[in-house]
Amino acid sequence: MLSFKKSFNLKKEAAEADRKWYLIDAEGKTLGRLATAVAKILRGKNKATFTPNVDCGDFVVILNSDKIVYTGAKATAKKYYKYSGYPGGMKVTELAKQIQKDSRKVILAAVHGMLPNSRLANKQITKCKVFKGAEHTHAAQQPAKLEI
């Protein structure tokens, strides 16, 4: 007789009890590689108790978002679109201008694009805290430094 192990399903209450805080310095890091690592932590895929339909991920604090590195011709080729809903209401911003304007939105857009398109992902992206400089407001949570 073959014996099969049952698959593991994490309960919502257990996932909320086991949350950690990580601190990542984005200075000199490539945008896409940083975003994939952060998305993995936000979803909880770095844990053995990963369950796809439960928010079991951790919190991430990213510092120095204005010192992020991008490769190739992305400075002019990558564009961010914003549409007001009215005819002629589309605004297009290049990556280089968006980093000058608000570099936090660049990282959040990259991470959010690597999460699944669901209401759960909208909740998971709120656990990503991005700061322009080296100072952050989450010292009370004692985030552990994570090297990527």
For the chain, domains (ranges, CATH) are 16-70+104-145 (3.90.1180.10)
Task: Note the pTM of the prediction, 2 decimals.
Answer: 0.91
Which two tokens mark 8?
């593991």
Are 92 and 81 in contact by the 8 Å Cβ rule? The answer is yes
> What pLDDT does residue 13 have?
84
- What is the mean pLDDT, run by run of 10 residues, along the chain of 148 residues? 75 86 97 98 94 94 96 94 97 96 96 97 97 96 96
- Residue 68's nearest CA partner among 40, 109, 121, 113 is 109
In the DSSP assignment, the letter for residue 30 is B
> What pLDDT does residue 89 have?
97
> What pLDDT does residue 1 have?
61
